[in-house]
Amino acid sequence: MAIRVSEKPPAPAPERRSPCPVACALDVFGDRWTLLIIRDLVLGKTRFKDFATSPEGIPTNVLSERLARLLAHDIVSQVSATLGSKHLAYCLTEKGRALMPVLKNIRDWGLAWEKGTQASLEKPSAAR
């Protein structure tokens, strides 16, 4: 059973370049790494070291920054990895889980239109 780590006060909202919802969403997860971290969370990875060993090879400094951004936007939360452990893990919040259909649609588009792509094994509840 994971224990939620003490809540930190929310970071101030970043200044938006536009009120457009597409632009705002892309400001949160529109880089080359963030949706891959969310994908890994959906597929059951929870620890920094797990994300760092994904086949795409995210640099650890970039991973740290992206996880901080996801925390600031309440897409992930930090929890204790195991009961009584000092190690931290990450889990998707309700807001983060709401991105699952977006990931599924991107995956399906890639499978349909990008030759040579394949989906890795996924958690049954994550894809549907």
What tokens does 110 get? 């890639």
- pLDDT at residue 10, as a whole number: 57
- What is the set of domains in the chain, with CATH numbers? 21-127 (1.10.10.10)
The pTM for the full model equals: 0.82
Residue type, 57: G
CA distance 34 to 62: 10
pLDDT in tens, the chain (128 residues): 555 554 555 556 667 889 999 999 999 999 999 999 999 999 999 999 999 999 999 999 999 999 999 999 999 999 998 877 888 999 999 999 999 999 999 999 999 999 999 997 555 444 43
- pLDDT at residue 122, as a whole number: 55
What are the helix (H) ranges across 87-127? 94-97, 100-113, 124-127
The position carrying tokens 């224990």 is: 3
